[in-house]
Amino acid sequence: MITGKQRSELKKLAQDLKPTVMIGKDDITPAIISAIDDYLSAHELVKVQIQEGSLEEPKDAANAIAKELGAEFVQAIGRRFVLYRRAADPDKRKIFI
């Protein structure tokens, strides 16, 4: 569980990120989960955008994905949300909060 101060730091880092995973009309699929998992493993922080054709609500989708992947929900703004998962290997950690 991350603290409010850590969440604030992650929000600052996420501000400059471009959405790297898009959720489309098929909503959350195993391929989307896999893509987010891979990106979190490599970068620890991911911004996801929900396209107009999707019926998913950003906070609901973010919380469901975070629970499945063992990640932390950072924020949701509009149709975008940010997730964080600390790298298991200390040598691969890029974010120190």
37 close to 69: Cβ distance less than 8 angstroms: yes
Lowest mean pLDDT among 9-13, 54-58, 90-94: 90-94
Give the pTM.
Answer: 0.91
**Other Cβ atoms within 10 Å of 18 Cβ, number:** 6
Domain 4-92: assigned CATH number = 3.30.110.60
Beta bridge partners, 76, equal 81
Backbone phi, psi, residue 16, to 5°: -90, -5
Spell out the domain ranges in the chain.
4-92
Task: Tell me the C-alpha distance between 23 and 90, whole Å.
Answer: 30
Q: How confident is the model at residue 60 (pLDDT cuts 50, 70, 90)?
A: very high
